């Protein structure tokens, strides 16, 4: 009997072309499907909660697939981890309801963007943080953050290439978490457009470095033109932390994980 399965995935995205299946490129989705088909000897299509950019990471990516397991979920999980590169790990496999959809059932998502204040690139963290080359004024950064919270048309902060026509999204919060030599911007929203988080971070950093005035941000929203805003921050600092599928749970009531 065909059942629907939910899988939780963590990965270091540095060496991959992103989540989404692409021709002539190595993607997370493509590797998962290849390994699943090798184990089960059947066609498997794995649907993710959303695309992550080339070079971006995940601690809690969620996906689902329909298939006939010839073994228990735990054994299937072990089989996937044995075939996948060590930079991709399957954290959990479980059966779910037929109406569950990894993307459309989600109520909110949390992303972290980590910014390093190290004097030079740290070889142990450089794959997971971005180190700007100009000083950051944290006070200015904190003043700019509230301008992005709430329901807005984020067209200016979405790269072309996304197929979604409705560019209105709601950001519930952007928390600034301070760690030793790292600033972590924690985004929680009901959905994110293509490269939206990275583009917002790029704009925040322009404000924090004194290159963009706070008064310009509302004008950027009104422009509804990606070319009007600063370039996005690099993918290396971005991590998908977790996804909420329970409508009764407001993730903003809970602290974000300290490390991503």
**Catalytic site positions:** 53
Pairing of strands 150-153, 3-11: unpaired
Put residue 219 in one of left, alpha, beta given phi > 0 → left and psi -120 to 50 → alpha: alpha
Please answer whether residues 8 and 64 qualify as being in contact, where contact means their C-beta atoms are separated by less than 8 angstroms.
no
Torsion of CA 219, 147, 115, 256, to 10 degrees: -150
Pairing of strands 238-244, 57-67: parallel
Spatial CB neighbours of 84, under 8 Å, sequence gap ≥ 6: 31, 32, 35, 90
What is the rounded distance in angstroms from the CA atom of residue 40 to the CA atom of residue 50?
A: 24
What is the rounded distance in angstroms from the CA atom of residue 223 to the CA atom of residue 240?
A: 28
What is the rounded distance in angstroms from the CA atom of residue 57 to the CA atom of residue 19?
A: 9
- The residues facing 34 across adjacent strands are none
What are the Cα distances from residue 179, in Å, to 117, 197, 202? 10, 20, 20
């Amino acid at each position: 009997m065909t059942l629907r399965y939910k899988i939780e995935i963590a990965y270091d995205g540095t060496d991959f072309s992103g989540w989404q299946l692409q021709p002539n490129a190595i993607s997370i989705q493509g590797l998962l499907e290849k390994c699943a088909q090798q184990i089960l000897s059947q066609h498997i299509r794995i649907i993710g909660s959303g695309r992550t950019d080339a070079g971006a990471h995940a601690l809690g990516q969620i996906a689902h697939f329909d298939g006939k397991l010839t073994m228990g979920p735990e054994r299937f999980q072990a089989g996937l981890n044995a075939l996948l590169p060590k930079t991709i790990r399957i954290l959990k496999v479980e059966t779910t309801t037929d109406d569950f959809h990894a993307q459309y059932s989600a109520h909110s998502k949390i992303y972290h963007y980590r910014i390093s204040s190290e004097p030079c690139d740290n070889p142990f963290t450089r794959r997971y943080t971005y180190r700007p080359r100009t000083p950051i004024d944290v006070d200015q950064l904190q003043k700019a953050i509230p301008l992005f919270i709430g329901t807005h048309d984020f067209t200016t902060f979405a790269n072309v290439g996304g197929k979604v026509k409705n560019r209105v999204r709601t950001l519930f919060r952007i928390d600034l978490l301070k760690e030793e030599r790292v600033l972590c911007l924690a985004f929680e929203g009901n959905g994110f457009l293509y490269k939206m988080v990275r583009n917002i971070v790029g704009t925040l950093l322009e404000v924090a470095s004194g290159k963009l005035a706070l008064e310009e941000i509302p004008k950027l929203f009104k422009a509804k033109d990606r070319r009007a805003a600063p370039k996005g921050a690099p993918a290396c600092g971005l991590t998908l932390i977790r996804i909420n599928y329970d409508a009764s749970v407001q993730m903003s009531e809970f602290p974000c994980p300290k490390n991503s």
